Amino acid sequence: MSTHIAEARVILSGSFDDLRSRHVRLLQEAARLGPVHVLLWSDDVVRALTGESPRFGQDERTYLLQAVRYVAALTLITDLPSPDQLPEVATPASDSIWVMLEGEDNADRRAYCHRVGLDCHVIPEASLDGFPHSGPDRWLAPSPRPKVIVTGCYDWLHSGHVRFFEEVSELGDLYVAVGNDANVRALKGEGHPMQTQDERRYMVQSIRYVTQAVVTKGMGWMDAAPNIDEIRPDIYAVNEDGDVPEKAAFCVENGLQYVVLKREPKEGLRRRSSTDLRGF
């Protein structure tokens, strides 16, 4: 996903390391202004500008950002002398907008924008609060494709989740039932989930392979049963970690095709798990 910067008027520049909901909210707010072009700092640029290595390498950060529905284009930046200017390889068009958070706005950036004739747009931190819903329930709209549902906690959205969504979406329109807080706590114990159900649903919904993300309405291994009654999917897909007898039996009883996928990372990326990333 790469394009000349003139084709995507709204520019964001940064490392986008350890992608979390604040990053995605920023991308969403920026996308209200037009197609978003992310200038992603390479590992070397991150080290040069911050003095530290990124937690996640440039290949994984690229993969995650390209999966976010608010990103129209992405260019990996390998040379950037200062965070207060844009790279020469991405000279902006005259009608482009450099979007930044209010904490990043400074005199050096303003001077650079004035020098190159670039408009600056500052997004207040407070405008990133909350986790907006994407709109009406999409399963009400007719589609020629099968409906596929997956379920899970998704407490720390990572590249393994995104790869799973990417693969499952090839089977049909993908609906993701995100475990409600009470049920996740009952299944996993106190301290879980780390993120609230609204934040987890928001992060899942931000992935372009997902047709609709919902919060489960039931309890137990089949906490998504009430949602399945509403969505009426054709396929229930799980990965190897989520393959439990209760789900297979539910599919037999309800006439759903049960699909178990291998838990494989995207080629070239590390195998990820929420437990390892959380540390508990």
Residue 131 backbone phi and psi in degrees, to 5: -130, 90
List CB contacts of 141: < 8 A, sequence separation 6 or more.
none
Q: Which helix (H) or strand (E) holds 36?
A: strand 36-41
Q: 5-128 sits in which CATH class?
A: alpha beta
List CB contacts of 1: < 8 A, sequence separation 6 or more.
66, 71, 72, 73, 74
How many CA atoms, within 13 angstroms, populate the side-chain half-sphere of residue 91?
4
* Angstrom distances, CA of residue 48 to CA of 11, 14, 56, 75, 85: 21, 13, 16, 18, 15
Q: What local confidence, expressed as pLDDT, does residue 1 receive?
A: 44
Q: What local confidence, expressed as pLDDT, does residue 212 receive?
A: 94
Q: What local confidence, expressed as pLDDT, does residue 6 receive?
A: 43
Stretches in the chain below the pLDDT threshold 50: 1-7
Q: What local confidence, expressed as pLDDT, does residue 191 receive?
A: 86
Separation between Cα atoms, residue 140 and residue 212, nearest integer Å: 11
Examine domains 5-128 and 138-278 and report if their fold is the same: yes
Residue 211 backbone phi and psi in degrees, to 5: -75, -45
DSSP state string for 129-148: -S----SS-GGGS--SSPEE
**Which CATH entry fits the domain spanning 138-278: 3.40.50.720, 3.30.43.10, 3.30.390.30, 3.40.50.620?**
3.40.50.620
- Each domain of the chain, given as residue ranges in start order, spans 5-128, 138-278
Q: Which helix (H) or strand (E) holds 175?
A: strand 173-178
Q: Which amino acid is at 206?
A: S
Q: Which helix (H) or strand (E) holds 228?
A: helix 225-231
Separation between Cα atoms, residue 244 and residue 53, nearest integer Å: 39
The pTM for the full model equals 0.92
What is the chain's length? Answer: 280
Separation between Cα atoms, residue 56 and residue 188, nearest integer Å: 26
